[in-house]
Each structure stands twice: as C-alpha cells, then as structure tokens.
Amino acid sequence: MEDTINFKDVIKQSVLHLEAFRSVSYVDMFLGLFSSFIIGMFIYWIYRKTFRGVVYSYNYNVSFVLMTMITALIIMTISTNIVLSLGMVGALSIVRFRTAVKDPLDIVYMFWAISAGIASGAKMYPLALGGSIVIGLTLAWLSRRKLKEQAYLLIVRHTDAANDELRVQLRKLNSKLKSKTVRKDFTELTVELMLRDDNTAFVQTISEIEGVHDASLINYSGDYAQ
C-alpha cells in the first residue's frame, strides 16, 4: 500500500534533513522565550501573593520562571526534527526528581509552568497568555475566598472536673474533635475550629474554667501548623 507510513523512512528522512532544526527563526525564538518569561514572572507573582504556607521559599518560586522558559526551549527544539524529539524524550526519561512536594497546590503551579512553556514553545501565544491569566485569576479568587474562614487547632489540657463546662463551650464553637489523649492526671483534647474573624476571646474563657490547666490556639493550614 502506497499510503502506508513507514516509520523507518521517516527516521531516515529526518536524519538526512537534520539541519532542519536551524529553520527556527530568531523571531520565533525571541517570541517563545519572551512569552515564557512573562508568563513565568506572572506565575511567580501569583504564587507569592497567594502563598499560605509556613515558610516562603524564594528559590522554589524562581524555579517556576526557569521551568517555564526551559520547557519552551525544549519544545522549540524537538518540534523541528523527529530524531531530536526522540532523543530528548530518552534523555529526559532518565531524570529523577526526589524533592518532596508537601503542598498539593505546589504541584498545580508546576504543571501550570510546564503547560505554559509547552504552549509558548509551540507558538500558541494567545493560548499560553490567555490560559495563564484565567488560571492566575482563579487562584487569586480562591485564595481570597479561603481567607474568609481560617482553620485552627485548639489544644486543651484539663481534669475530669472541667468535662461538663468544657463540653458546653466547645459545642458553642461548632468544633470537631481531632484527638483525645487520656493520661493519669489529665486529659488532652485537640479540636478543629473554623473561624471567620480574629475573635479569640473564647480561649480565655476556656482557660478560666475550673479544672483546665491550659488552652492553646494554633493556626492550622493543611499539613502545617504555626
């Protein structure tokens, strides 16, 4: 069949025309790298403004800019020749990343940077810019919405004499029991609270209950407490 595509012929043709990768114009290279840089800086700004973790990492945030530009460079390289694309895939397949990503939202930013770099390298500038603006505005909106209600952990150490009164106070706060540790002389409770404002006067009220040794309120965010 004449219409059948022979993969070996495609490889041979690509080898014979390996110089085709030079067909990428300087204008396309500049537009691709410039677009990826602008989008990377936008990701950098959104991540910095919406960060809600414990310790902000400047190096981690800067990596999004470089990741976007490097991905665009790779796409521009492999889009010119099938041999180069196969070689690049083989080279990248041996790379192993062992850095643990504790916040699931950080993975979203990584995929955003890679996707924007792919779109920029493929000359889909409206898609890269428009899609990044929509994603950035969505993350900013969700971040502001999250601030209206913060999660806290209330840790109370008390004796049996405070059981009834403490139960009444916790019911008023609409709390959720996370853990309970019973020891010989006291009981330690850890409850989760959702607060919409900074009114923490209830901590003093709980501390004054007879039989309560101490009460601590900790800001809770995912897997981190501060």
Indicate the pLDDT class of residue 137, thresholds 50, 70 and 90. very high
**Which of 84-98, 126-140, 143-157, 197-211 is the least confident region?**
84-98
pLDDT value at residue 1: 45
Q: Which residue has the higher pLDDT, 91 or 189?
A: 189
Indicate the pLDDT class of residue 42, thresholds 50, 70 and 90. very high
pLDDT value at residue 210: 85
Nearest to 187 by CA among 171, 202, 172, 209: 209
- Arch. (CATH architecture) of 150-225: 2-Layer Sandwich (3.30)
pLDDT tens-place string over residues 43-68: 999 999 888 766 788 888 899 999 99
Average pLDDT, integer, range 1-5: 52
